[in-house]
Each structure stands twice: as structure tokens, then as C-alpha cells.
Amino acid sequence: MNTSKKPAVLFLCTHNSARSQMAEAFLRKYGNAYFAAHSAGLEPTEIHPMTYRVMQEIGIDLDAKGHYVKGLIEEYFEKQVHIGYLITVCSNAEQKCPIYPGVSVREYWDLEDPAAFEGTGEEVLAKFREIRDQIMARVKAFIAQESKS
């Protein structure tokens, strides 16, 4: 595969605060030879503190990797950034995402929002870890499948 023209993968959720940030980080870590990783939100807010924490636990420092919250319209659509793969990671983004011109593949990964989970601090942390691990497995499976194309 010609890595100078890696296909762009955009992970999209509502706020770009947890799931899409994790997916972008995992794709950068495990699939950088094949894909250009991006993430965005329909209504961007800020990266959730637990997102930083659970990624740091496994050696991924989102700050050091240059992660920041991005809006789909401002960062990608208006700038006409070509996206090869659009992966929505929440039902809200899947339902509300506009048609994105030029997308070759669109997928929906139905992932629970750890930021919406209610419980004790330890229970919320456990939920973030669970979702992090699910996302890592999905990203690795995506790389294994799509890097052979």
C-alpha cells in the first residue's frame, strides 16, 4: 500500500470527548502505517478527564499526541477534507451525521457512552476502561480487515 496517500479514517461522535478520541488514538498507535486517523464531534465540547486517565493507564498520553476537540463541520466538511472511512461511534452521530461527500466506507459502531454512565467514581472509571478496551479491539479488527484491501 502507498503510505504517502493513506486513506483518512474519521471517528465521529456527539462531543468528541471520549469514544472518538480513544478510537483516533488507537488507530494512530496500531494502524499508522495504513491510515490517517482523525476524530470529530457534531457538538464538540472538551475531552473528558476520564478519557485522559484511562488512555494514560495503557501508555497513551493524549496531550503528548496532540489530541484536541474538533468539530465535524468546521474542521472537515467546510475545509473539504477527503475522508475515506467515516465511522460513527454513537447512535446520535449515526442519526444526525450529514451525508459526507466522497466517503468510500461508512460504518456504525454501537458503543455505550461512558461519560453518560452514572455510578460511583470507581464504577465510572470501570465503565471507561470497559469502553476503552472495546474500542481497542474494534480498531485492531478494523485494521486487520481494511489494511488488506
**Residue range 106-115, pLDDT digits in tens:** 999 999 999 9
- The domain tally of the chain equals 1
Active-site residue, 97 included:
yes
Q: Which of 69, 97, 103, 124 is catalytic?
A: 97
Q: Which of 100, 96, 61 is nearest to 80 (CA)?
A: 100
Q: Which of 13, 22, 40, 54 is catalytic?
A: 13
Predicted confidence band of residue 50 (pLDDT cuts 50, 70, 90): very high
pLDDT tens figures, 72-116: 988 888 888 899 999 999 888 888 876 777 889 999 999 999 999
Residue position matching grid coordinates 481494511: 146
20 lies in which domain range?
Answer: 3-146
Residue 41 sits in a domain whose CATH number is: 3.40.50.2300
In this structure, of 43-47, 51-55, 62-66, 118-122, the range with the lowest mean pLDDT score is 62-66
pLDDT value of position 147 = 85
Predicted confidence band of residue 149 (pLDDT cuts 50, 70, 90): low
Q: Which of 12, 37, 62, 90 is catalytic?
A: 90
H or E stretch at 20:
helix 19-31
CA 118 to chain centre: 22
Burial zone of 33 (CB within 10 Å; 0-12 exposed, 13-18 middle, 19+ buried): exposed
